[in-house]
Structure 1
C-alpha cells in the first residue's frame, strides 16, 4: 500500500520566454505549486527557448510551465517543445502554457506538444489538479 510520503515529489519549472517582462502570473503559479508540495524552479525573465530547454533537461523536471504574454507564443513555444524532443525529454515532460492565448492559436500549440493551455481566470486549484492527474510516470 502506497502512502503519500512514498510518492515522488513533482518537479516543475516555471519559465518566462522571450522579451515578455510580465512575470506576476509566473510568480503566483510558482508559489502555488510550491505550496502544493511541488519542487519549483523559476527560470527568471527574458530567457531564450534554448536556455529554457537546457534548464528543464538539467533540472530533470516533470512539468514545464511556460508563461507568455508577448504574443510570440506561436514562434517561441514550438522552439521549446522541439528542443525537448531533441533531448528525448518530450514524453517525460508535461508542457503547460499560461497567458493570453487566442482561441485560434490553441490548436496549433496543442499540435506542437503542448498538453494544456491556461488563460486568465483559471483557478490555481484547477491547474494543480491537472498537473497531479497528468504528470508523466517515470
Structure 2
C-alpha cells in the first residue's frame, strides 16, 4: 500500500474490478461482521443500510451452517425476482456482498471471488498493521 492509497481505496478498486470481470454484477461492498461499511461500489443504494443487512445475513447464515453440521460458513447465494445477492465470508470478521442481475454469471463470480477475498483480506491486514484502518480486533 503506497502512502497515497488507503485500504479503502484499494478495496474499492478490487470491487470495481469484480464488476468489470463478472457479467451481471451491479455492485458490491465489504463490511465488518458487525455491520460497519469498509468500502463499497454500489450505485443507487444506501451502503450503510446494506452493510447492516449484510451483517445480519452473515449472522443467520453462520448459525444455519453450524446448526446443520456443515462446518464454518463460507458463502450464501440468494436469488430474488430481479437478481442475486451473494454473501461471502472474508475470514471471521468481514464479509463481501455482491449484487447482480438475473444475467449475473454465477460460475464466474465463484471463480473470481476466492482471489478477490484473499486480496481484500491482505489490504485489510496491511491497513491494520499501518494503523490506518480497522483495529486488530475488527479482523
Same fold (TM over 0.5): no
More strand by share: 2
Work out which structure has the larger RCO, using CA pairs closer than 8 Å and 6 or more positions apart in sequence: 2
TM-score (norm 1): 0.27
